[in-house]
Amino acid sequence: MVSSCGRRQFLGLGAGAVAAALGGCFGLGGGDYPGYADWIPPSDEGLLVGYIDFRVTRDSPRADRLLPLLLPSRDGGEAAEFVPELSGLDGIDDPLLGWPLQVGGRLIAGAAIGIAAGGLGYLVDPEKPEEIVDELFVADGVAVGVGEIDESEADESLREGTDDLIGRMPFEPSGDYRGFTIYEPTVDDFDGVTALGESSVVVANTREELEAAVDAQRGDGSLAVDEDGTFEWLVDEGGRGDLVAGWNGSVDPSEYMFGDTDGVIANDLLTDRDHVLGAVDFAPDEDEITAELAVQDAGLDGSGRDRLQSELGTSSGDTSFTGGERRLSATGTYTSRVLDVDFSQPSKTPATPETEVPSGDPPPEVAEAVPEDAVEFSYDGDRKVKVGLTADMAVDKVTMRALESGWEGSTTTPQEGLYFYVYIDPEGDEVAVTATVDGTTGTIAREKFP
């Protein structure tokens, strides 16, 4: 997972990489609302929500073959051996299904990065599926992971720090709050706070934001679903599923998203709506997917309503609509085939990482497949070099490698707008980018830093 975290905010996320997500068995909270609503206090400045439940991969042997995944199966069985190819996700032309998947995937990836930046990356690490939290969500920049948390292991992870995101950053306890132990980073130029409990972890930019979420969940703070009639309606009509995404009021979704947001946020018929919430619910054993969407907007009258209704549910086998003045809700059912997600079985014997990169001009087959100036570098003066792809590439794989530090990352779906952070040796390093076509590899860009 690639980070776009700033140095002073855990959850300020930019554009970057692939986005997809899966769902599971949705649990209700203390009342009639989904459990994530219990953590969300009212907001006067708009409210943005992304939620996912990973438990379906434990509950259904068919889940991994059906869903576009960020994480593998927990059970270590046959399904966990298959790797999803996610390139087909952006090709879903029905926004009733595609919009929640695309927006939700990016929000959830941002939430995962928030948990990792908060010192608990192993709880969202695809390489450690047995320790992944059951539920993960973000609401107004506060990331929450819910599940069985080994507090001793989490405490050790926080105190030692990890090198996963932005260099080793240990945390230290700074007190308790309502059953949580509060940790703060020991690095002076970092803001942020992490709360650790036996069944949940919370990461926020400020102590005030964290305490408001905890108060709401503990039942002593106001809830957005109780205080805001619009948000209550959105949750009722479009917020009950395995993956949930959307906003209520004036927000900037790209601020908390991970991935290339241009096509999703800027160019579709749901972009500028004042209030929108969508959900996707998976029933892998029944080969069925249900999507729902709720929209409230001043433009939902006459032709505006007709246009929106005509474009929702175009791939659904059964679509229904309800709603009154300035409101429209839609529900559609789909088979798994509409996702068009392919799975491939990786090699049982991982290849030995290359220690050298090809020198000279790339071979003709590589040069023909990669447009000119398709790679750009930017350097923040610290340990990170941003490697961005400025064009789609007709290649099998693109690999980014820091020759001195040994850091390496790759993608099999190179496309315009994708970027990675490469972590270099601050004493001096060289970043090389290679492309592979039909087994032939050539260097397409390289640059020395600092």
- Segment 186-224, tens digit of pLDDT: 877 677 899 999 999 999 999 999 999 999 999 888 899
Query: Which pLDDT does position 201 carry in this prediction?
Result: 97
The residues that bridge with 201 in the sheet, in sequence order, are 145, 196
Query: Quick one: 289 and 400 in the same domain?
Result: no
Q: What's this model's pTM, rounded to 2 decimal places?
A: 0.68
Residue 27 domain-assigned?
no
Rounded Cα–Cα distance for residues 191 and 207 (Å): 10
Query: Quick one: 331 and 368 in the same domain?
Result: no
Query: Quick one: 83 and 211 in the same domain?
Result: yes
**More confident: 27 or 257:** 257
Closest to 285 measured CA to CA, from 80, 77, 62: 62
In this structure, what CATH number is given to the domain that contains residue 373? 2.60.40.10
| Residue position matching structure tokens 């001043």 | 298
Residue 25 domain-assigned?
no
Query: Quick one: 397 and 330 in the same domain?
Result: no
| Strand duo 397-402 + 408-411: pairing | antiparallel
Query: Which pLDDT does position 167 carry in this prediction?
Result: 52
Residue 84 domain-assigned?
yes
Name the percent of the chain lying above pLDDT 70: 74
Query: Which pLDDT does position 262 carry in this prediction?
Result: 59
Query: Which pLDDT does position 60 carry in this prediction?
Result: 55
Query: Which pLDDT does position 265 carry in this prediction?
Result: 54
Residue span of the structural domain in which 392 resides: 364-449
Query: Quick one: 254 and 396 in the same domain?
Result: no
Query: Quick one: 407 and 324 in the same domain?
Result: no
Peptide bond just before 126 cis, omega within 30 deg: no
Query: Quick one: 57 and 91 in the same domain?
Result: yes
**More confident: 191 or 389:** 389
Q: Which two tokens stand for residue 241?
A: 């599923």
Query: Quick one: 316 and 436 in the same domain?
Result: no
Residue 28 domain-assigned?
no
* Tens digit of each residue's pLDDT (9 = 90 or more) over 351-378: 344 457 888 899 999 999 999 999 999 9
pLDDT reading at 120 higher than 70? yes
Average pLDDT over residues 248-260: 71
Query: Quick one: 272 and 386 in the same domain?
Result: no
Residue 317 domain-assigned?
yes
Residue 206 domain-assigned?
yes
Q: Provide CB contacts within 8 A for 194, sequence distance 6+.
A: 118, 119, 120, 158, 171, 182, 183, 184, 201, 202, 203
Query: Quick one: 69 and 116 in the same domain?
Result: yes
Query: Quick one: 420 and 284 in the same domain?
Result: no
**More confident: 225 or 44:** 225
* Tens digit of each residue's pLDDT (9 = 90 or more) over 275-289: 999 999 887 667 788
pLDDT reading at 271 higher than 50? yes
Query: Quick one: 313 and 235 in the same domain?
Result: yes
Residue 30 domain-assigned?
no
Q: Worst-scoring range by mean pLDDT, 111-120, 122-131, 232-241, 317-326? A: 122-131
Number of domains in the chain: 2
What's the mean per-residue pLDDT of the chain? 77
Backbone angles phi, psi at 367, to 5 degrees: -60, -40
Residue 249 domain-assigned?
yes
pLDDT reading at 53 higher than 80? yes
